[in-house]
C-alpha cells in the first residue's frame, strides 16, 4: 500500500469518525432536551402540588379558597385579601404550565388534562372576578388562552373584589 492509498484510508476512517461523533452529539442533545423539558414540567407540577397541599392542609385557607371561588363577596375584607394572594399563586402556576405547553415541554396528552382543569377553574365567579381585575398582569398568550380557549369571562353585576388591591 502506497502513501496515496494510506491517505485515502485515513480520510475514510476520519470521515466515519466524524459521522459517528455527529450522531453521538445529536443523541446527547436530544437526551439533554428531553431531560430539560422533564425538569421544567416537574418544577411546574411540584409548584401546583405544593400550593394544593398548603391550602388543603390549612382549613381556614381551604374555606377561603372554596368560598371565595363561589362567591367572593361572602368573604370578609381580610379573607378577600387572602383569597387574592391564593388565587394569584395558582393562576401563576397555570400560566407557567401554559408556557411549558407552548414551548413544547408538554405532550398534548398531558396538556389536555391541564387545559380542562384551567377551563373549569375559570368558570367560577371568584376566578372570573379576579381575572377581570388582574388579567393585564399575565402574558398576552396566557390572556388569549384564558379568554379564547377557556371560554369567555362573564360579566359580573358588581366587582366582589373591589377595594382589595394586592
Query: For 74, phi and psi rounded to 5 degrees?
Result: -80, -10
Lowest mean pLDDT among 59-68, 76-85, 87-96, 111-120: 111-120
Helix (H, G, I), strand (E, B) or coil at 124: coil
Q: Is the pLDDT of residue 76 over 50?
A: yes
Please give the residue that has the higher pLDDT: either 11 or 31: 11
CA dihedral 146, 128, 66, 79 (to 10 degrees): 120
- Give the model confidence (pLDDT) of 104-128 as tens digits: 888 888 888 899 899 889 999 999 9
Using 50, 70 and 90 to split pLDDT, how confident is the model at 166? very low
CB within 8 Å of 32: residues ≥ 6 apart: none
Other CB atoms within a 10 A radius of the CB of residue 47 amount to 16
Residue 30's pLDDT is 67
**Mean pLDDT within 44-65:** 87
- pTM for the complete prediction? 0.71
State the burial class of residue 161 (Cβ atoms within 10 Å of its Cβ: 0-12, 13-18, 19+).
buried
Using 50, 70 and 90 to split pLDDT, how confident is the model at 1? confident
91 and 68 Cβ atoms separated by less than 8 Å: no
Amino acid at each position: 500500500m502506497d502513501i496515496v492509498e494510506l491517505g485515502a484510508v485515513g480520510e475514510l476512517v476520519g470521515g466515519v469518525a466524524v459521522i459517528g461523533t455527529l450522531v453521538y452529539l445529536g443523541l446527547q442533545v436530544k437526551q439533554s432536551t428531553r431531560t430539560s423539558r422533564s425538569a421544567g414540567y416537574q418544577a411546574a407540577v411540584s409548584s401546583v402540588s405544593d400550593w394544593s397541599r398548603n391550602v388543603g392542609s390549612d382549613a381556614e385557607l381551604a374555606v377561603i379558597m372554596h368560598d371565595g371561588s363561589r362567591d367572593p363577596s361572602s368573604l370578609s375584607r381580610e379573607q378577600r385579601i387572602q383569597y387574592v394572594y391564593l388565587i394569584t399563586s395558582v393562576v401563576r402556576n397555570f400560566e407557567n404550565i401554559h408556557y411549558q405547553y407552548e414551548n413544547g415541554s408538554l405532550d398534548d396528552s398531558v396538556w389536555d388534562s391541564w387545559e380542562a382543569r384551567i377551563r373549569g377553574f375559570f368558570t367560577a365567579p371568584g376566578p372570573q372576578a379576579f381575572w377581570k381585575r388582574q388579567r393585564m398582569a399575565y402574558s398576552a398568550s396566557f390572556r388569549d388562552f384564558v379568554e379564547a380557549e377557556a371560554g369567555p369571562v362573564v360579566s359580573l353585576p358588581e366587582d366582589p373584589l373591589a377595594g382589595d388591591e394586592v
